[in-house]
Amino acid sequence: MSPPPAATARRRARLAGHGFVVAFIGVWALYGMTVDSYVLPGPDAVALRLVRMFGDVYEVQHMLYSFGHIVSAVAISFVIGSALAFLAHYVGICRLAVHGRLSPFLNSFSGIGWTFLAIIWFGISDVTVVFVISMVLIPFAIINMREGLANLDAERIEMAASFTRSGWRRFRLVILPSLYPFIFATIRISFGVAWKVALTAELFGGNTGLGYLLNLARQDFDMPLVLAVIIVIIGFVYATDRFLFAPVQAALARHHGAV
């Protein structure tokens, strides 16, 4: 009995994906043999450097610092962005100030600009890195939470009001659960964007983290370490999205009846 067309299509898609990775590594290895190692080392040299990286306590500490920067910034930006979105939603006089002035400004100002300002204000420090990442992520939180609040079911909230006069109970039992998909989407998007911003912030304004380690490798012309850092970031972001965020999103979709 032949497999169903859907299973065959998925198998072909997986084979195509694996084939692309193998072909990329093959081209990389061939090109690496034609240039100097400080320009592009081969996959074997990068793999060995990656193993050494995970065996070096000093370099592992920089990985943990980057993770701490990102978790802190995601939490700070989510709290601030959500508070601003709630303020604009429930206090009408603030709506234009938040959505028409503050959010467009934060969304248009670049991470490099925040980095330069943060270096002047806070110096080369962890505070600078967390500040830069947070300022870039705040508009993502504002926009996502604004959409969540705009899509609240008015009839459900009205029905909840008929059962209790407590605004806190309505918020905790009705409004907050309705916002779970938007809260999760905010955190998921912020986490992915944060890694891109963190590398720049740590490169210019930090004295810890993978960006700082990347800067040291650049100064020493240690290209295997440069590529190893890039691979670590890509692998961590992919694994987190694939094995943490994707299952949570699937569970939320089932619970809320979303596709």
**8 Å CB contact between 140 and 111:** no
| Same-domain check for residues 7 and 56 | no
For residue 133, give the nearest of 151, 106, 158, 95 by alpha carbon.
106
| Same-domain check for residues 108 and 220 | yes
Q: What is the mean pLDDT of residues 35-59?
A: 88
pLDDT in tens, 89-106: 888 899 999 999 899 999
| Same-domain check for residues 23 and 114 | no
Q: What is the mean pLDDT of residues 64-69?
A: 93
**8 Å CB contact between 126 and 69:** yes
Six-digit token string for 139: 């508009």
| Same-domain check for residues 100 and 131 | yes
Q: What is the mean pLDDT of residues 201-224?
A: 89
For residue 234, give the nearest of 210, 203, 213 by alpha carbon.
210
| Same-domain check for residues 62 and 29 | no
Residue 54: CATH number of its domain: 1.10.3720.10
Q: What is the mean pLDDT of residues 215-228?
A: 89
pTM of the model: 0.85
Give the count of domains, the chain.
2
- In which band, very low, low, confident or very high, does the pLDDT at 11 lie, cut at 50, 70 and 90? confident
- In which band, very low, low, confident or very high, does the pLDDT at 67 lie, cut at 50, 70 and 90? very high
**SS3 per-residue string spanning 91-106:** CHHHHHHHHHHHHHHH
pLDDT of 238 reads 87
| Same-domain check for residues 2 and 98 | no
The full length of the chain comes to 259
Q: What is the mean pLDDT of residues 162-191?
A: 82
| Same-domain check for residues 15 and 83 | no
- In which band, very low, low, confident or very high, does the pLDDT at 16 lie, cut at 50, 70 and 90? confident
| Same-domain check for residues 26 and 52 | no
Distances (CA, A) of 48 to 171, 193, 227, 236: 53, 29, 11, 18
Q: Which domain holds residue 193?
A: 41-256
| Same-domain check for residues 27 and 114 | no
| Same-domain check for residues 91 and 200 | yes
| Same-domain check for residues 84 and 211 | yes
| Same-domain check for residues 149 and 228 | yes
pLDDT in tens, 109-166: 888 899 999 999 999 999 999 999 999 999 999 999 999 888 887 777 777 677 777 6
